[in-house]
Amino acid sequence: MVNPLPLDVWYRILSSFSPAEICRLRQVNRAFYDLTRERQVWVDAYLNTRLPTSDGPISSKSAKELEMELRRTAMLDACYGGSMSPVLRHQINGLPGFDPTRHLFDPPGFHRERYGWMNLVRGRWLVACHARANRITCYDLEASDPSEAPISWGAITGDRIYAATCYACAEEDALLYAYVDGEDAITVLKLQLSPYPITFQRIHRLEWNFHELPDVRQDAFKLFQLVLNESWLFACCLGRNNYIGTLFHLHSQGIYSVPYPEISSAGDVHDLQWYMPFLTSTHLWLFTGSASSRALFPLSTPGRFELFTLPKAESVVDPASPLTLSHSRRFDNWYMIFGAYALSTHSQLSTLSRKLLRRLLN
């Protein structure tokens, strides 16, 4: 059935098909099954798709990689634009007076608080948390209806969530989720993803008295940051001219105070509005908007830190991390819209989720 037409003609015909339609052709017969495995079919589909795709050269991707990326981004697009659309809109855009056109691409800073956090784990699990919804919800994007029977954690105390973060474990098929509540505590949850997730389990509850900051008590300007891996958790709260930074070792329950070098000489709050912590397997990196304030904390000796200045072309790379930090790029490239993170085992899926959310709310 396929043989009477030249192969390049079949490539041209299939270039007008969607990824799902190409996959459905495999069920017709063996000839179509073999044809749809050809790399050129997926190169053409990749170049012609209307869906957002990851950055990087196509030449470095195999037929299987191109196929999986297109199928996954199509699936996410269907979820974001279909049954999940009202859910996601509610999670992000649910507070009165929120203007998505004004806040769409702004990084989180002192001029506003975060409204919600969304994390994409392994391209399949979407973990959403709204600041005042008092609930953390995990959606399976490969389900026929992701909004039906999601996995939730509702045992949240206090009037709101101030910060949240997610981490996909490297050694096991599980994710960790941490959040700061209104009762001066940080809760760390664990969700086992295989064979199939059932419920969140609380594994740590850490005391963290961020309300002792005068600016927090007065509900003035503040910025919360929270980063996590399997062994460490870093939390900080910056007021107008005050700062609390704490590094927790989850296994030994060790607690270390992390100084902020510029807090005493910063002056104006706008000098401090860029503050980005990044936790790798060996170090805690702190980046701010000032060239003189980049701090490195070796986790082997967490009580010690050093300041450094990155050359413009230098990057900070951790082989165990899916992300690469480069000083030559703006730091808000790693923030999803509305200050939500997209975390994945593949950095390209972080990019895709950000682009898909942009499409959803435009």
In a domain, 291, yes or no: yes
**Pair of tokens at residue 207:** 């005391």
Whether residues 32 and 119 share a domain: the answer is no
pLDDT at residue 241, rounded to an integer: 67
pLDDT at residue 187, rounded to an integer: 93
Q: What stretches in the chain show pLDDT beneath 70?
A: 1-3, 52, 54-56, 75-115, 213-222, 240-241, 260-275, 287-295, 303-362
Q: Choose the final residue of a domain: 29, 49, 78.
A: 78
Whether residues 284 and 315 share a domain: the answer is yes
In a domain, 143, yes or no: yes
Whether residues 106 and 227 share a domain: the answer is yes
Whether residues 118 and 256 share a domain: the answer is yes
Whether residues 258 and 116 share a domain: the answer is yes
In a domain, 2, yes or no: no
Q: Choose the final residue of a domain: 19, 50, 78.
A: 78
Q: Is pTM beyond 0.85 here? A: no
Q: Facing residues of 156 across strands? A: none
Q: Choose the final residue of a domain: 78, 111, 136.
A: 78
pLDDT at residue 107, rounded to an integer: 38
Whether residues 351 and 208 share a domain: the answer is yes
Whether residues 70 and 19 share a domain: the answer is yes
pLDDT tens-digit readout, 274-320: 567 778 778 787 766 554 456 677 787 776 666 554 444 333 333 33
pLDDT at residue 342, rounded to an integer: 29
pLDDT at residue 214, rounded to an integer: 64
Whether residues 143 and 281 share a domain: the answer is yes
In a domain, 1, yes or no: no
pLDDT at residue 85, rounded to an integer: 54
Q: Decide if 301 contacts 138 (C-beta within 8 A).
A: no
Q: Which of 137, 300, 296, 171 is nearest to 232 (CA)?
A: 300
Q: Decide if 188 contacts 233 (C-beta within 8 A).
A: yes
CATH label of the domain that carries residue 152: 2.130.10
In a domain, 177, yes or no: yes
Whether residues 260 and 150 share a domain: the answer is yes
Number of domains in the chain: 2
Q: Decide if 197 contacts 177 (C-beta within 8 A).
A: no
Whether residues 48 and 142 share a domain: the answer is no
Whether residues 71 and 86 share a domain: the answer is no
Whether residues 106 and 192 share a domain: the answer is yes
Q: Which domain holds residue 43?
A: 7-78
pLDDT at residue 116, rounded to an integer: 72
